[in-house]
Amino acid sequence: MSSPITHPLRRAPHGSCRGTSSDGWLGAWQRLILAALVFALGACDADLTLPPEPDLPDPAVAEGRYDGPPILPAPSLSVLTRNVYLGGNTGLVFGADFSDPVAVTEAAATVWGQVLASDVPGRAEAIVAEIDATRPMVVSLQEVVRFASTGGTVIDWMTEIEAEIARRGLPYRTAAVQGGTAATLPVSPTELVQFTDRIAVLVHEDVEVEEIQQGRYAAELLLASAPPPIGDVVVRRGWIRLTASTRRARYHVVATHLETQGIRPIHDAQAQELLGSVAAGLDGLTVIAGDLNSDAAAQPGDPSWTPTYEAALDARFTDTWLRSPRGPWAGDGFTCCQAPDLRNGPTLLKERIDFVLARFRGRRGRSWRRLPGFVRVEVVGEEQDDRLNSGLWLSDHAGLMARLRIPALGPGTP
């Protein structure tokens, strides 16, 4: 088993960001301006702990034009989204001719061999070490797949993650797991492998969960109807919506994994359901965290592009990566994709398809065009030093860690 990550994020030395001005002479507005300048210039750039800026619901506050309800101190919410990668290129199976049993068996055997070689236990240990280092309040996980072969081999991402959390004594629990695509495929004339794709949400013990809703998208694809033991192969995706609170903050987190760009009609329908139903009409702070398979760095016509990203912005969700301070440490935000065998040397990340999107909606139904408060976002798991000792990347995706401080406004918030 490979050694876990010990430094998934680069952090500033303790005490390296102390100010030199005392509160005795530095006025409140001077402190505000100084904090904003320091934040924008990236001081303490590697530390994801938000600096103590004042809680502002809108730029109008800083300009003295805000005459709304009293502003209460803003609690913070931190969210990590991580596609952990099942370990094999399932496109080989889904692209096979299901009328040809030999072709299906060969494709499934190739993917199964990739999964066995991908060191799921070692990668799960390192993913949990990443959670330990970043300590998010909510974790959105995708591709937490379970494999079980008739030969007796069982590989279960959730079992590995939960066992490592318990071994480390971390304050996290599994809030929900939602199943998606499931199939049984032959990998040899005498062996079958059953796999079930899933998404999951973990929460910190400080999170008070009020409600959990989950389900599968209505849009799905019947890929094949084959004779037993294969039967119907249906491509499905799901979602989990968590309503929770910590201190005075109440928020909604929607975890999801949309279909790939190669199946556009299904992808587009799932995105419409996500934005038009699952994440629609929620008061306060709503966060969508997951792999949306819509490349913000692409242009229409590119294979990785879909209209989903722009549709989310049109629905007044803020791309938190764009709101986070830029600097030499920030990089380009790419999160996808390393080689299917995870053994490439130089990084191959060139797509931005994993997101933490956030929207603030007041009690009167008004969605703020500009997300209020302060945001800090970091890509995790993309550095060479993040790889396992064996050279494997932790996943074909990098993760996205977002910390948000959104004002908790008083009664009468518009």
Q: Domains in the chain and their CATH numbers?
A: 55-409 (3.60.10.10)
Give the strand pairing for 284-291 and 249-257.
parallel
- Is the CB of residue 204 less than 8 Å from the CB of residue 172? yes
The rounded distance, in Å, linking the Cα atoms of 120 and 117 is: 8
Mean pLDDT calculated for residue range 149-165: 97
Residue type at 389 in one-letter notation:
N
pLDDT in tens, 314-363: 999 999 999 988 765 567 999 999 999 999 999 999 999 999 999 987 65
Judged against a pLDDT cut of 50, whether residue 405 lies above it is answered with yes
The rounded distance, in Å, linking the Cα atoms of 185 and 195 is: 8
Residue type at 34 in one-letter notation:
L
pLDDT in tens, 80-136: 999 999 999 999 998 999 889 999 999 999 999 999 999 999 999 999 999 999 999
Residue by residue, DSSP assigns 305-324 as: --THHHHHHHTT-EEHHHHS
Q: Apex CA 96: angle with CA 149 and CA 182, to 5°?
A: 40
Residue 40: HSE in the Cβ half-sphere, 13 Å Cα cutoff:
6
pLDDT in tens, 279-318: 998 988 899 999 999 999 999 999 999 999 999 999 999 9
Q: What pLDDT is stored for residue 326 in this prediction?
A: 72
Where would I find the H helices in 135-248?
157-168
Of 374, 337, 343, 280, the C-alpha closest to 142 is: 337
Residue 359: phi and psi, rounded to 5, are -140, 140
With residue 32 as reference, give the H or E element that holds it: helix 28-41
Q: What pLDDT is stored for residue 368 in this prediction?
A: 63
Distances (CA, A) of 381 to 157, 205, 325: 18, 24, 19
Residue 29: phi and psi, rounded to 5, are -70, -35
Residue 216: phi and psi, rounded to 5, are -105, 150
Of 219, 222, 209, the C-alpha closest to 239 is: 219
The pTM (predicted TM-score) of the whole model is 0.81
The structure tokens listed for 361 are 């909606």
Would residue 312 be called left, alpha or beta, if left means φ above 0 and alpha means ψ between -120 and 50 degrees? alpha
Q: What pLDDT is stored for residue 39 in this prediction?
A: 37
Q: What pLDDT is stored for residue 141 in this prediction?
A: 98
